[in-house]
Amino acid sequence: MHTCNNMPLNAFQRHSKRLIGIMMGICLALSLVLQAVVHRYNLSTFTHYGIAVISVAPIIMTMILIARYLSGEKDEYLRNLVVQSILWGFGVALVADTFFGYIIELRSTLIPFGSISMDIFVVTAMITLEIKLWRNQ
């Protein structure tokens, strides 16, 4: 049985967790592929905008999945923990984004951070949720 910190998950929770994990993988894979394409080929401005739109598609899908999960979750305590974890995820992603944004700006260093902020968000939210569940065993 799939568990979340020894907590048995129902079919809806397992399904949501799997879909969000898949979207996270797509985000990461897409960011690597798009970075490689952008740096290897001399693309037109129109293509750049197209790539930018493609890169945000899985992020929008993940947000829709999270919203769908929150509206369908019947366990209000777990819903509360997930919302808190999501806020932590957003917070850490914003902090990392601001920090690396300044590093890139001031040192003209190329860090492919913008494309992995979604993964930072999801990983932080998942770690926070695990910690919160562990604290309330």
Partner 1 sequence: MKNRLRVLRAEREWSQADLAQKLEVSRQSVNAIETGKFDPSLPLAFRLARLFETTIESIFLEDEAPPGA
What does residue 8 show for φ and ψ, rounded to 5 degrees? -65, 135
Closer residue to partner 1 (CB): 7 or 19: 7
- Find the binding residues for partner 1 in span 57-86 (CB under 8 A): 74-78, 80
- Applying CB under 8 A, does 107 fall inside the site for partner 1? no
Contact 54, 30 (CB under 8 A): yes
In whole angstroms, what is the distance from residue 3 CA to residue 126 CA? 13
In whole angstroms, what is the distance from residue 91 CA to residue 85 CA? 10
- Applying CB under 8 A, does 137 fall inside the site for partner 1? yes
Closer residue to partner 1 (CB): 15 or 63: 15
- Applying CB under 8 A, does 127 fall inside the site for partner 1? no
- Applying CB under 8 A, does 39 fall inside the site for partner 1? no
Contact 100, 113 (CB under 8 A): yes
Query: CA-based diameter of the chain, in Å?
Result: 54
Closer residue to partner 1 (CB): 76 or 105: 76
| Binding-site ranges for partner 1 (CB under 8 A) | 7-8, 74-78, 80, 133, 136-137
